[in-house]
Chain A
Amino acid sequence: MTLAREGCLTCGDVAVAARVVEVDGRDALVTVGGEPELDALVTVGGEPERVALDLVPDATPGDLLLCHAGIALERIEEER
């Protein structure tokens, strides 16, 4: 139950990078594309997770999003 070993996914300043697979209205289906220590928590069995796109409404499939507590907070720039 506790996420103690690998960091508290939701309540700290922790967020997860996730790739948009499909946009579904105000939500997107995403798969996690970074932070492998959190993979097991968010993509059990490789099933995509649903995140709200209210704050990144123009996201499209293929975008990498910073997700926290079930919503996308920001788009991650892939070119540095």
Chain B
Amino acid sequence: MRYVDEYRDPLLARALAAEIRGLVTSGESVRIMEICGGHTHAIYRHGLEELLPNEVELVHGPGCPVCVIPMGRVDDAIAIAETDGVTLATFGDMMRVPGGRGSLLEAAARGADVRMVYSPLDALELARRDPERHVCFLAIGFETTAPATAVTLLRARAEALPNFSVFCNHVLIEPPLRAILETPGLQVDAFVGPGHVSSVIGTEAYRFIPEEYGRPLVVSAFEPVDLLQSIAMLLRQRVDGRCEVENQYTRVVRPEGNWQALAAIEETMEVREDFEWRGLGVLERSGLRVRDALAAFDAECLFELPGARIEDPKACRCGEVLTGQIKPWECGVFGTACTPERPLGTCMVSSEGACAAFFSYGRLRRPREETPIGA
């Protein structure tokens, strides 16, 4: 198929793998973090680590929006869902995230009206079709998804829908990156930047990474050849002594991003003073809330929310996985107490979480990390 086959061409992939081998010196160690959960998923799914020399290590970053939602916000969503006359709509993976009082799916089993949608516009349609019920959309996601929520809010306002609201949990990509870059003893040498977040915010938004933190970043698309090419571009920068933001995903991403999407976000949402992230703690100016002008559509104004902060289960090490400090299999409950069927931590919930991706595709072969029998 056009626009797919050429990005999965095995000969091209092998040529790139050879190029990558030529760009590293034997015995050195280069740690590259892929920020985006979609990249993590693609890396495991296509076995890309197998193609890389031992000198190059991929570290998985925080870019799965489901994985960073704290348990307290899940409980808030459950409180909305359990209000009489309310339908809560959200994306499929979000329904399985465990909060302090179980997941939304379990709330649905107790009788709450929880619906899965593919788009916030589908939630809006639910509200139009059933004027007797209030429909609340549980919004999550980075700058990729915020425009869809923004467009939905603008349409709701234009129609003056009285029975629709958004419980806004949108987050921004820059604050967690800064948090990771400021982690003491950080061992990440370079970054593969998210492709679709960048289609909205542009490549210029990452300039602070080379300029303030001295690490290169390449914005990448999602097919195997794309990712290998991005890794080669990062290594080429090292060899050339350059440190900058480059764009591998030129077929979609522009330096300035999509101004229409950014304007829609700006019109409907504003940056919160702070927002809690699972594994990263409270980060300043890292989340978005619905603007006061649209308070009639803001679930945080319409509903009484518990707003509790809940500690993650002690055994769960999602925080360390999200910041690249440990690999999924180094967590004590990985694949035992915590599986995709019964996740303890969020990294196991979404297929883009590092733990779930590794569980699905990588756990049976790990030649580079061989543990001696009996160790």
Query: Which residues of chain A have a CB within 8 Å of any CB of chain B?
Result: 1-15, 17, 33-36, 52, 54-57, 64, 66, 68-71, 73-74, 76-78, 80
Contact = CB atoms under 8 A, between A and B. Distances in A.
B141 interface: yes
B65 interface: yes
A-B pairs, 3 with minimum CB distance: A70-B119, A69-B148, A11-B91
B118 A9 contact: yes
B92 A71 contact: no
Contact of A7 (B41, B147, B264): B41
Given A35-B4, A55-B151, A12 B64 contact: yes
A11 B94 contact: yes
B72 interface: no
A76 B41 CA distance: 22
Report the contact-size class of chain B (Cβ under 8 Å from the partner).
35 or more
6 contacts: A15-B144, A15-B199, A68-B145, A70-B119, A76-B3, A78-B251
Nearest to B41: A7
A3 B93 contact: yes
Q: Which of A8, A9, A33 has the most CB of B within 10 A?
A: A8
Interface in B187-241: 194-197, 199-200, 222
Given A13-B142, A34-B1, A71-B151, 18 more contacts: A2-B351, A4-B340, A4-B350, A4-B356, A10-B119, A12-B63, A14-B38, A34-B3, A55-B261, A66-B199, A69-B91, A71-B121, A71-B148, A73-B144, A73-B147, A73-B200, A73-B261, A76-B252
Nearest to B37: A12
A56 B37 CA distance: 26
Interface string B138-167: 001110110110010010000000000000
B260 interface: yes
Nearest to A71: B148
Contacts of B122: 70
Interface string B62-87: 01111000000000000000000000
A6 B41 CA distance: 9
Contacts of B252: 66, 74, 76-77
B168 interface: no
Interface in B100-153: 116, 118-122, 140-142, 144-145, 147-148, 151
Contacts, number: 149
B29 interface: no
Interface string B346-368: 00001110001000100000000
Contacts of B93: 2-4, 8, 11
Contacts of B251: 76-78, 80
A4 B350 CA distance: 7
Contact of A1 (B45, B92, B145, B197): B92
B255 to A, nearest CB: 13
A39 B100 CA distance: 36
Nearest to A64: B3
A55 B197 CA distance: 15
B327 to A, nearest CB: 20
A75 to B, nearest CB: 8
A4 B118 CA distance: 14
B92 A55 contact: no
B63 A13 contact: yes
Contact of A71 (B38, B96, B141, B147): B147
Contacts of A3: 92-93, 351
Nearest to A10: B91
B4 A10 contact: no
Contacts of B119: 10, 69-71
A33 B3 contact: yes
Contacts of A76: 3, 251-252
Contacts of A57: 260
B94 A69 contact: no
Nearest to A17: B3
Contacts of A12: 36-38, 41, 63-66, 350, 352
Q: Which of B66, B118, B142 has the most CB of A within 10 A?
A: B118
A11 B2 CA distance: 25
